[in-house]
Amino acid sequence: MKKDTRQVQSENAIIEASIRTLLVNPSAGMSEIATAAGVGRATLYRHVESRQALIEKLVLVCMEEMDAATAPLAHLTGGAALEARIDATMPLADRFHFLAELWTIAADSEAITQIDNKLDDELAVLVEQAKRAGQINTDLPTPWVVSFYASTLMAAWWLIASGDVEIDEALIYTKQSFFSGCAKNPGKNRA
């Protein structure tokens, strides 16, 4: 059944207000979220049956946004793809700060696990390509490099959220940290 315009607008308002509210107060209740979204509690509960379901939905939305942001980069490989992914996902810092705050609540969702595994698998392929191209140190295990990549992005997203760095600065620092830290020849810039 297709949603009408009002339903879509209401759902979008709920999603955006929920993320903003939960970023400020991770323990916010459904009443606070409904108020922030400009809808009644009954409307909120028509969209999601519980706070747990809402958080799972929000995490899924954020992960789908990341997947959508990186999908146009499928033609890139290795280091170029890894760098382009940083460019594509950095503007989503608010989404990923939210994910970090509430990940444990939604981590058991099968849909979320599938997207998370897909993203990790894609990164592992790109890391292997970058290793073959001499852009990443082959002595570093691929799972280590994937985790380092994700951790470097997470650090950037936290610093953006705290106001300590701007997105443009975070892009530079993230690329420099990742590629220098994983360089084929430690201490030298990538090729």
Express each pLDDT in 57-106 by its tens digit. Answer: 888 888 888 888 988 999 999 999 999 999 998 988 777 776 666 666 66
Is 78 in the same domain as 151?
Answer: yes
Q: Which amino acid is at 46?
A: R
Query: How many structural domains does the chain have?
Result: 2
Asked whether residue 191 is assigned to any structural domain, the reply reads no
Cα–Cα distance measured from residue 93 to residue 154, given in angstroms and rounded to the nearest whole number:
8
Residue 10: pLDDT band by 50, 70, 90 thresholds? confident
Query: Taking the model in full, what pTM does it have?
Result: 0.78
Is 107 in the same domain as 164?
Answer: yes
Place of tokens 């444990």: 104
Across 74-84, b (16+ Cβ under 10 Å) vs e yields eebbbbbbbbb
Indicate the angle between helix axes 5-24 and 51-70, nearest 10 degrees: 100
User: Hey, which bits of 40-175 come out as E strands?
Assistant: none
Is 41 in the same domain as 69?
Answer: no
Is 72 in the same domain as 143?
Answer: yes
Q: Which of 32, 47, 62 is the last residue of a domain?
A: 47
Q: Which domain holds residue 14?
A: 1-47
